């Protein structure tokens, strides 16, 4: 009798998973889940990997098994708290750590960022010796999570590549003056990423803000930033669109020790 994972047919489900579209070294591997290809029931249908959203634990476990099978090495899931804390990925394999980014240069773990509107950012160096993944909601982005991730990689920022994964797009990310002020106080140029709409509200471009932060850190090889989790309803979970009751995708990056 086939196992559930076998019956789902991983090879046949390739279209349900994405990879980063960037010129990374061959040793650097990525996987970005969508809402498709899993076993969860509505409103978490179907590839929900978030264990904290109210989904059935056994369904989340199955979904993570499917992801694990595609990655081929342990996934370092974090307890994301919208912080700027970065940890070594191996530390998160034996315990659930409060952090929002992980880095690895050993090839023994996959760095992971869970999202459902927040911005996942994947990193590698041009030599393929170190990778990282960061979870950047607006608080973490304004608080320094990307800067800390770049520094934790311990390599020349000019050698670092960054990929901006699926997040809430600039046509859907409505914020207040507090968010605009948080960024503009640090980066005056951030004003360009906010389009005023009405009553002190703005449409914010989280992709543009991330690019500004990374460029200030000396990272100029930046890719991605083309999706909108809110508008692409059939493909992605969205916390805002679905009223807070929804699943989580995961963006993963790791070093293939077989190369």
Which residue in this structure is represented by tokens 């059939």? 234
Which residues, other chains included, contact 226 with Cβ-Cβ below 8 Å and sequence gap of 6+?
none
Q: Quick check: 5 pLDDT over 90?
A: no
What pLDDT, on the 0 to 100 scale, is given for residue 15? Answer: 78
Domain limits for position 163: 4-255
The CATH number of the domain holding residue 137 is 3.60.140.10
As given in the structure block, the two tokens for residue 99 are 């952090």
Tens-digit pLDDT profile for residues 59-97: 999 999 999 999 999 999 999 999 999 999 999 999 999
**What does DSSP assign to residue 79?**
B
What is the mean pLDDT of the segment spanning 107-127?
Answer: 98
Q: How many domains does the chain have?
A: 1
Give the SS3 label for residue 256. Answer: coil
H or E element that contains 149: helix 145-152
Tens-digit pLDDT profile for residues 172-212: 999 999 999 999 999 999 999 999 999 999 999 999 999 99
What pLDDT, on the 0 to 100 scale, is given for residue 176? Answer: 98
What pLDDT, on the 0 to 100 scale, is given for residue 10? Answer: 31
Mean pLDDT (the chain, rounded): 94
Phi, psi of 86 (to 5 degrees): -120, 135
Cα-to-chain-centroid distance, residue 6: 27
pTM for the model stands at: 0.94
């Amino acid at each position: 009798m086939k196992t559930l994972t076998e019956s789902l047919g991983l090879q046949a489900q390739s279209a349900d998973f994405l990879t980063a579209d960037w010129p990374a070294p061959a040793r650097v591997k990525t996987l970005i889940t969508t809402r498709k290809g899993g076993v969860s029931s509505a409103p978490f249908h179907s590839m929900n990997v978030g264990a904290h959203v109210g989904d059935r634990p056994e369904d989340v476990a199955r979904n993570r098994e499917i992801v694990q099978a595609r990655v081929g090495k342990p996934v370092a899931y974090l307890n994301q708290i919208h912080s700027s804390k970065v940890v070594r990925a191996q530390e998160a394999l034996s315990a659930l750590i409060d952090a929002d980014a992980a880095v690895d240069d050993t090839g023994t773990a996959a760095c992971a960022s869970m999202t459902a509107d927040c911005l996942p950012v994947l990193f590698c160096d041009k030599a393929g010796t170190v990778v990282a993944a960061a979870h950047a909601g607006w608080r973490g982005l304004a608080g320094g999570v990307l800067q800390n991730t770049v520094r934790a990689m311990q390599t020349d920022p000019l050698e670092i590549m960054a990929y901006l994964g699926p997040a809430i797009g600039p046509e859907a990310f409505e914020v207040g003056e507090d968010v605009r002020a948080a960024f503009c106080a640090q980066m005056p140029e951030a004003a360009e990423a906010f389009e005023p709409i009405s009553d002190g509200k703005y449409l914010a471009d989280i992709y543009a803000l991330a690019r500004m932060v990374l460029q200030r850190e000396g990272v100029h090889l930046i890719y991605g930033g083309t999706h909108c989790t809110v508008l692409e309803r059939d493909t992605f979970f969205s916390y805002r669109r679905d009223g807070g009751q929804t699943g989580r995708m995961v963006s993963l990056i790791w070093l293939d020790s077989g190369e």
